[in-house]
Amino acid sequence: MPTLDARLRLPLAGLSPATTSFPGSTPKPGSLSFALRPPSASLSSSASAPAAAAPPIVVVGSANADIYVEVDRLPLVGETVAARAGRSLAGGKGANQAACGGRLAAGPTYLVARVGDDANGRLLEGALADAGGVRLDRVARAPGAPSGHAVVMLMPGGQNSIIIVGGANMEGWASGVGSDDLDLIRRAGVLLLQREIPDWVNVQVAQAAKGAGVPVILDAGGMDAPVPGELLSLVDIFSPNETELARLTGMPTETFEQISRAAGACHKMGVKEVLVKLGSQGSALFIEGGEPIRQPIIPATEVVDTTGAGDTFTSAFAVALVEGKPKEECMRFAAAAASLCVQVKGAIPSMPDRKSVMDLLESVQPPFILNNGARGQIRRIQ
């Protein structure tokens, strides 16, 4: 991938840093200001674009410079192992979800985030601009804090282990979320959150969304700590994987029955809908008082890297939700996007465009099993 690495490190043409302010902050972090790349023609073609523009998707979350190292296995305690390859790519759960939304959504996708005024911050700015469709004027440079970064240990078969360093993602919010950002959130079609920024920031923006009737989706990935009850009470859809679900509930999640019981525990915490990502077993949506909705994976031709798969799934689900699709169709659309994602190395570089997702869905239209056991056919997502 030398060509990609070189591209990500090029200075952004037309980048013109402006001064922006957070209330009560000194010095003032710089905001990003540059011409945005228009969506690709394939996203607006009559064959793949929705009939009407949807309201904006707003992602509040992290942006990391991911240091990828490809290893045959993880080192043991006290052991040093040699990597087959290594490179730096843009990532972070917030940036990943925004990049995916930018490529799939009919309306605009905004990222509200903090990066450092450093080389990693510029790598992130460039990669997100190149991704297309992401509005970055709400990304600000935090003074005195380095950009967040992560070490991704990628093993054969596409599995990975990740260590994150918060940096500006955790330290850049001292002044809170600005009023302009909160107004944007109140006008959104959906708010996407993760746990790689402070919980109190998530609470602040979720309160703004909830007060305006904007759905809130919380991806459970990020910090290894209990989710505050105040935050869960503001969430409409909680989206963990099975490992995160087990950790957050203290319950086993080895079987589907155990996963169902753990999702029920989340319902008792105040979350009405729990969207569980199950890796090779697909996904399941548990709606309080209803039967689970299960979605199998759409098999990938080759699994290369699973790093961005969960973020792709969550973001694609949100895109279909904003467009008013039924939950079953949202899950199928998300499964197709995730299937394409795992076939490319790197999180943001792996995010698929809408035409690719639609083409995949067109090629795999098997019957599905309804909750009542009857067989039916998924309608094509326009």
Domain boundaries, the chain: 57-63+92-148+175-363
d(CA 272, CA 286): 8
SS in 3 state form for the chain?
CHHHHHHHHCCCCCCCCEECCCCCCCCCCEECCCCCCCCCHHHHCCCCCCCCCCCCEEEECCCEEEEEEECCCCCCCCCCCCCCEEEEEEECHHHHHHHHHHHHCCCCEEEEEEEECCHHHHHHHHHHHHHCCEECCCEEEECCCCCEEEEEEECCCCCEEEEEECCHHHHCCCCCCCHHHHHHHHCCCEEEEEECCCHHHHHHHHHHHHHCCCCEEEEEEECCCCCCHHHHCCCCEEECEHHHHHHHHCCCCCCHHHHHHHHHHHHHCCCCEEEEECHHHCEEEEECCCCCEEECCCCCCCCCCCCCHHHHHHHHHHHHHHCCCCHHHHHHHHHHHHHHHCCCCCCHHHCCCHHHHHHHHHHCCCEEECCCCCEEECCCCC
Backbone torsion region of residue 267, taken as left when φ is above 0, otherwise alpha when ψ lies between -120 and 50, otherwise beta = alpha
| Six token digits for residue 92 | 């972070």
Active-site annotation holds for 311: yes
Residue 366, pLDDT score: 55
| Assigned token pair, 165 | 């360093």
- Number of CB atoms found within 10 A of residue 94's CB: 29
How far apart, in whole angstroms, are the C-alpha atoms of residue 85 and residue 70?
5
Q: How confident is the model at residue 28, as a pLDDT?
A: 36
**Residue positions in the annotated binding site for substrate?**
64-66, 92-96, 196, 311
Provide the pLDDT for residue 16: 34
**Nearest C-alpha neighbor of 350 from the set 215, 154, 197:** 154
Looking at residue 53, what is its pLDDT? 64
The CATH class of 57-63+92-148+175-363 is: alpha beta
Residue 237, CA atoms < 13 Å, CB-side half-sphere: 25
- pLDDT at site 79: 95
Check: CB of residue 272 under 8 Å from CB of residue 236: yes
> Which of 198, 97, 98, 88 minimizes the C-alpha distance to 152?
88
- Digitized pLDDT (tens) for each residue of the chain, 382 residues in all: 333 333 232 233 333 333 333 333 333 344 443 333 333 333 333 334 444 567 999 999 999 998 889 999 999 999 999 999 998 888 899 999 999 999 999 999 999 999 999 999 998 999 899 888 899 999 999 988 999 998 989 888 778 888 889 999 999 998 889 999 999 999 999 999 999 999 999 999 999 999 999 999 999 998 888 999 999 999 999 999 999 999 999 999 999 999 999 999 999 999 999 999 999 899 999 999 999 999 999 999 999 888 889 999 999 999 999 999 999 999 999 999 999 999 998 788 889 999 999 999 999 865 443 343 444 444 444 4
What is the token pair recorded at 202? 């998530």
Catalytic residue among 117, 130, 236, 311: 311
pLDDT of residue 307: 82
| Residue numbering of the annotated binding site for ATP | 241, 277-282, 310-311
Query: Residue 230: its pLDDT value, please?
Result: 96
Residue 85 CB coordination number (10 Å): 11
Q: Which residues are annotated as a binding site?
A: 64-66, 92-96, 196, 241, 277-282, 305, 307, 310-311, 341, 344, 346, 350
Residues in Cβ contact with 8 at an 8 Å cutoff, skipping those fewer than 6 apart: 88, 89, 90, 123, 126, 127, 130
Strand order in the sheet with 64-70: 85-91, 64-70, 148-154, 160-165
Annotated binding site for K(+): 305, 307, 341, 344, 346, 350
